[in-house]
């Protein structure tokens, strides 16, 4: 990515960072560890001191109690880390780890520029879910429903199921994801099913550091080109695209409305800028706010935002109904949020996109596209195909 929407937290410095962040990446152990690398820091969590329970209390309260209990038991700086599903009512997979190791951002570590090991040859069987033509038909159906006034935007996803003739290695995939885009948000989290949620998201949902919050919604995208002139043309065109600007404004307006009640001040730029990843250009707006009440936690802010129109649609309720009717799978943790929070309420929460669920020789990859009334089914299908490239590169597979 070309922009970093947040500075290093107090006490965290890029000075002396040679090898610190990449050492955590190298030490990651699949199945037992949780890793989250962001533009501000790298966290490697090992073991489980406590699981955040699933009950009728608000999630922010369950997390507060888990952190308070850990601190009372002698842990001076406990954190909660993990993933929250697309459905906010479903079970969150959050834990207080036994040990947390910290380092500056991967991008601050010069060793991150060393190439990742090439993926070992794997013969992949690829099954799209649904088939591309069925996905395009779902987009067309969504456009018809928007023209009838049912909703103004919906995000439709599709998946790729990959089965290899050998285990591709979760740790090596994580290395390639992190080294391909060290300025993004790279994560690996074990799931309740025994799989690993693995990804490299470009999108910060919200962070809190003291009284300051930052949110960085992305909506409106175009695939990158290997030809420099064409790549620049696509970027410039995206900044002027009425369809993509409308899609982006729907998300920004919803996030402004959700965050404003928590803020004494909230700055929202009038126009988006561009963020690039290795595969995509995205329209990006960075919101900065000052909290009205210092006790508002990062997870409270994230819960107020989730799910945003960038991963669901608008209005939320009819968009979610359309998703359940038009997508042939349960999203689970995809388009949820992944992140961390400490006992002071500071934390970072990232939108769970550009990701896969990995279980041995099998992977399920996800990609989605925002559909508005001006959407073209073929173009949205192509956009999801381009978004798959982030993870296909990590496993050495092709569509």
Angular region, 129: left φ>0, alpha ψ -120 to 50, beta rest: beta
- Rounded distance between C-alpha atoms, residue 193 and residue 212, angstroms: 36
On whether the CB atoms of residues 85 and 91 are closer than 8 A, the answer is yes
On whether the CB atoms of residues 246 and 235 are closer than 8 A, the answer is no
- Rounded distance between C-alpha atoms, residue 4 and residue 119, angstroms: 29
* Biggest CA-to-CA distance, the chain: 59
Q: At what angle do helices 132-147 and 377-395 cross, to 10 degrees?
A: 140
- Rounded distance between C-alpha atoms, residue 206 and residue 241, angstroms: 26
Residues contacting residue 176 through CB under 8 Å, at least 6 positions apart? 116, 117, 119, 393, 394
Residues contacting residue 115 through CB under 8 Å, at least 6 positions apart? 179
Q: Tell me which H or E stretch contains 342.
A: strand 337-342
Residue 203 a catalytic site member: yes
Q: Per the residue annotation, which of 153, 327, 357, 383 is the catalytic one?
A: 153
On whether the CB atoms of residues 130 and 138 are closer than 8 A, the answer is yes
Residue 226 a catalytic site member: no
Q: Per the residue annotation, which of 6, 203, 348, 383 is the catalytic one?
A: 203
> Cα 270 to chain center, whole Å?
24
Residues contacting residue 283 through CB under 8 Å, at least 6 positions apart? 218, 219, 220, 221, 238, 239, 244, 245, 247, 248, 272, 273, 274, 275
Q: Tell me which H or E stretch contains 318.
A: helix 316-326
Residues contacting residue 25 through CB under 8 Å, at least 6 positions apart? 35, 37, 42, 106, 174, 175, 178
- Rounded distance between C-alpha atoms, residue 340 and residue 325, angstroms: 32
Task: Just list the catalytic residues.
Answer: 153, 203
């Amino acid at each position: 990515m070309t922009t970093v929407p947040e500075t290093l937290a107090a006490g965290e410095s890029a000075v002396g960072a040679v090898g610190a962040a990449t050492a955590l990446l190298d030490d990651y152990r699949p199945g037992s560890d949780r890793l989250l690398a962001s533009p501000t820091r790298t966290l490697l969590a090992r073991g489980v001191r406590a699981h955040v329970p699933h009950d009728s209390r608000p999630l922010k309260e369950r997390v507060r109690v888990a952190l308070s209990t850990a601190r009372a038991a002698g842990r001076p700086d406990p954190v909660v880390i993990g993933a929250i599903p697309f459905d906010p009512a479903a079970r969150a997979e959050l834990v207080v780890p036994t040990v947390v190791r910290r380092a500056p951002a991967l991008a601050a570590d010069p060793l991150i520029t060393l190439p990742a090991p090439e993926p070992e040859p794997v013969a992949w069987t690829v099954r799209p879910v649904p088939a591309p033509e069925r996905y395009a038909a779902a987009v067309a159906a969504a456009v018809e429903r928007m023209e009838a006034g049912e909703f103004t935007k919906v995000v439709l996803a599709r998946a790729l199921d990959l089965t290899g003739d050998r285990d591709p290695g979760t740790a090596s995939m994580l290395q390639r994801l992190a080294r391909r885009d060290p300025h993004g948000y790279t994560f690996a989290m074990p799931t309740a099913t025994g799989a690993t949620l693995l990804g490299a998201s470009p999108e910060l949902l919200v962070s809190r550091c003291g009284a300051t919050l930052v949110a960085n919604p992305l909506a409106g995208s175009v695939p990158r080109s290997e030809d420099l002139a064409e790549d620049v043309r696509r970027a410039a065109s995206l900044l002027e695209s009425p369809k993509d600007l409308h899609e982006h404004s729907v998300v920004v307006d919803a996030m402004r409305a959700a965050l404003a009640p928590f803020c004494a001040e909230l700055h929202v730029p009038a126009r988006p800028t561009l963020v690039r990843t290795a595969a995509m250009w995205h329209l990006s707006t960075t919101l900065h706010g000052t909290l009205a009440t210092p006790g508002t936690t990062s997870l409270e802010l994230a819960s107020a935002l989730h799910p945003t129109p960038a991963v669901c649609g608008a209005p939320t309720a009819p968009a979610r109904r359309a998703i359940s009717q038009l997508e042939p799978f349960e999203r689970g943790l995809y388009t949820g949020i992944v992140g961390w929070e400490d006992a002071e309420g500071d934390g970072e929460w990232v939108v769970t996109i550009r990701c896969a669920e990995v279980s041995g020789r099998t992977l399920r990859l996800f990609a989605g596209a925002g559909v508005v009334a001006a959407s073209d089914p073929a173009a949205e299908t192509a956009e999801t195909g381009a978004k798959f490239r982030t993870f296909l590169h990590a496993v050495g597979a092709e569509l």
